Structure 1
Amino acid sequence: MSNDVAVDSGVRPVGAAAAQAAVAGSTHPLDEVMLAMDVVDTLRRRERLVKTELDDLNREEDLKERLRKIYAAQGIDVPDLVIEQGVAALKEGRFTYAPPPRSLATRLARIYVNRGDWGKWVGGILGIMILAAVIHYVSFVAPDADLPRDLVRVHTEAIALAESDPARETLESYLGAGQSAMRNDDTQGARRALHELEMARTTLGQEYSLRIVNRPGEQTGIWRVPDINTGARNYYILVEAVDPTGRVLRVPIRNEETRETEAVATWGVRVDEPTFNAVARDKQDDGIIDRDRFGYKARGELVPRYDMPTTGGAITRW
């Protein structure tokens, strides 16, 4: 009990404990109990001063006498029994705090007491983990769960726009590739198939003329040296899609070099060298390409009808 009380920083509770020890088994009046509490408080405040005096009996008697004089100077009559009990309490180390032995229980107790310090860090870490889990679910898990339905939905929407058998066959191949990927747990493959279906749906809903780019400061054609045959050249005429209202569209184009489909406003259509040179001469004549229409794509079709010889291959970056 004395150890538990000693860790409290207050003075009065300690005095109360010593007073109770002093008057245990007796029936002292209330004034005497209060006086005993004050004696113990005085001893506690002067603990450093009296520590060495408790080691010697004569010095202990001097200490008691000094205490009597302190209270006598204040006009307070303190019984010897009260003073002796207070000195005994101090001598027995009742005011000395003995920390509990190290154990799992004490460690858990310290962790609990310090929860205000580490709790906010743990809460912050848990919050970040929960946020990351939510982002992962929203970005990957939920969309992947909808992939089978999305494949069928986009395919159905695209089929409704298709106006030719070749277009429908292309859409069926995309759907089949996506469903096969899903059966093989190939999520990336299913996403690629869905992307192709979405691009095809966009293309089917568009109608435009292919016009050769012919603006000051912009290229009309480029050539590339293929990596697998450095002795050859691939020629491309740069075109753009213009709808019936004259607006330039962004069109899904498959890049034959990267094998990726992306929506672009300008791209290069592969031609042979004579066609490339013919367009170049047309432009060099007076700076204007008189024959600037390269082809036309009708609504419901995936591939344009070309007015100039081309392989149909394209590039989107140069």
Structure 2
Amino acid sequence: MNTEATSATAGASAKQPLDEIMLAMDVVDTLRRRERLVKREIEVEGREQDLKERLRKIYQAQGIEVSDRILAEGVAALREDRFVYKPPAESFHVKLARLYVSRNRWGKWLLGGIGVLIIAWTVNYFVFVAPSKALPEEIATVHAEVTEIARSDRARERAEQLLNAGQTALDNENKDAARQALRLLEDLRTRLEQEYTLRIVNRPREQSGVWRVPDINTRARNYYLIVEAIDPSGKVLTVPVTNEETGKIERVTQWGLRVDEATFQRVARDKQNNGIIEEDRVGHKKRGYLRPDYKIRTTGGAITQW
């Protein structure tokens, strides 16, 4: 029984109570605040006891009893710099720790940079990469739709030409040419899907016809009737039209249809008679066909500006 008590006492003394440690730290702190006093007393041999007595009086004035052992530990700790913070030596782990602590300063810039990169990648993918990957399938799909709608050999031949052009462009990794082939196939599909009556524009203060002097022959004239496409419900359609002066396909609601001089003059006289063109229908376009069935003499050539 005595042995157990002795062991318990030894274990208790081996572990210094936390309040004693805190008190010793406070002693060191008090000594540091009185730096001049400490320096003078601690450096003079034999004056350590006087220093302890002064410290005891300081604490007694605050109502705190401090033992000799605590005072001795405090003075020893001050000599040994026991409670002084010493920064760790420079190392990779220390640098990482400092980087982590300062994350609020540089983190927002890093996150902003990452955000910009993500946005740039997303835009690049959906604007350039994804559409390019879809090109082969889109070209094949539109071509299949065109051939299903087409009712004339000419339309089917044109669809095959554009399909071959698109596939050749893809084989050569020419994305621009492949997209151009796809756009032309889509225009072809639109033209084949449409059904309309072709009429001369016949409204007050709007032109019904124009003529042009060609650059290569200034003594000649090219005559055009201004026409529009009206679907079965009476709606004016937007139609892809090839401008014979530029060779470009444009989507328009009105265009100039090239006719001979006799047809042009006949329509002019009709309008001059009472301001109304009695015979304003010049053709009918059926679904599945490229060209209207014209009721007048025309080359089918067109202009889109006048």
- One-letter code of the match for 2:76? A
Deviations 1:152-208 (A, max 9, x none): 332222222222222222222222211221222112212211221222122222221
Checking the alignment, whether the CA contact within 8 Å between 1:36 and 1:83 is kept in structure 2 is no
Match of 1:34 in 2: 19
Residues 1:239 and 2:205 aligned together? no
State how far apart, in whole Å, the 2-side matches of 1:211 and 1:225 are.
Answer: 24
State how far apart, in whole Å, the 2-side matches of 1:45 and 1:309 are.
Answer: 115
* 2:282 counterpart (294, 299, 305): 294
Deviations 1:47-78 (A, max 9, x none): 3x312333323697765433211222345442
Q: What displacement does 1:252 show?
A: 2.1
Q: What displacement does 1:117 show?
A: 4.9
Q: What is the aligned length?
A: 290
Match of 1:191 in 2: 179
Moved more, 84-93 or 194-203: 84-93
Structure 2 unaligned spans of 5+: 1-11
Residues 1:55 and 2:39 aligned together? yes
Q: What displacement does 1:120 show?
A: 5.0
Residues 1:216 and 2:204 aligned together? yes
Checking the alignment, whether the CA contact within 8 Å between 2:167 and 2:178 is kept in structure 1 is yes
* 1:65 counterpart (53, 59, 62): 53
Query: Which runs of structure 2 are paired with 1:229-268 in the superposition (5 Å)?
Result: 236-257=224-245, 259-268=247-256
- One-letter code of the match for 1:78? V
* TM-score relative to the length of structure 1: 0.73
Q: What displacement does 1:103 show?
A: 4.7
**Aligned partner of residue 313 in structure 1, secondary structure:** strand
Deviations 1:57-110 (A, max 9, x none): 369776543321122234544233422321332344444434345554332222
Change (3 A) 1:302 1:56: same
Q: What displacement does 1:37 show?
A: 2.8
* 2:194 counterpart (174, 181, 206): 206
State how far apart, in whole Å, the 1-side matches of 2:137 and 2:266 are.
Answer: 49
Query: Which runs of structure 2 are paired with 1:1-318 in the superposition (5 Å)?
Result: 27=13, 34-35=19-20, 37-44=22-29, 47=32, 49-57=33-41, 63-119=51-107, 121-222=109-210, 236-257=224-245, 259-271=247-259, 275-276=263-264, 278-317=266-305
Moved more, 294-303 or 81-90: 81-90
Checking the alignment, whether the CA contact within 8 Å between 1:36 and 1:86 is kept in structure 2 is no
Change (3 A) 1:189 1:73: same
**Aligned partner of residue 197 in structure 2, secondary structure:** strand
Deviations 1:122-167 (A, max 9, x none): 4454344344434433443333333333323322222222222222
Change (3 A) 1:93 1:209: same
State how far apart, in whole Å, the 1-side matches of 2:211 and 2:48 are.
Answer: 110
State how far apart, in whole Å, the 1-side matches of 2:259 and 2:49 are.
Answer: 119
Deviations 1:274-296 (A, max 9, x none): 65555444434432222322322
**Aligned partner of residue 246 in structure 1, secondary structure:** coil
Q: What displacement does 1:241 show?
A: 0.6
Change (3 A) 1:98 1:283: farther
State how far apart, in whole Å, the 2-side matches of 1:241 and 1:209 are.
Answer: 6
**Aligned partner of residue 300 in structure 2, secondary structure:** coil
Change (3 A) 1:206 1:38: same
Q: What displacement does 1:233 show?
A: 6.8
**Aligned partner of residue 247 in structure 1, secondary structure:** coil
Moved more, 55-64 or 211-220: 55-64
Structure 1 unaligned spans of 5+: 1-25
State how far apart, in whole Å, the 1-side matches of 2:21 and 2:118 are.
Answer: 60
Change (3 A) 1:38 1:293: same
Checking the alignment, whether the CA contact within 8 Å between 1:44 and 1:95 is kept in structure 2 is no
State how far apart, in whole Å, the 2-side matches of 1:294 and 1:176 are.
Answer: 35
State how far apart, in whole Å, the 2-side matches of 1:143 and 1:305 are.
Answer: 38
State how far apart, in whole Å, the 1-side matches of 2:146 and 2:14 are.
Answer: 102
State how far apart, in whole Å, the 2-side matches of 1:27 and 1:317 are.
Answer: 106
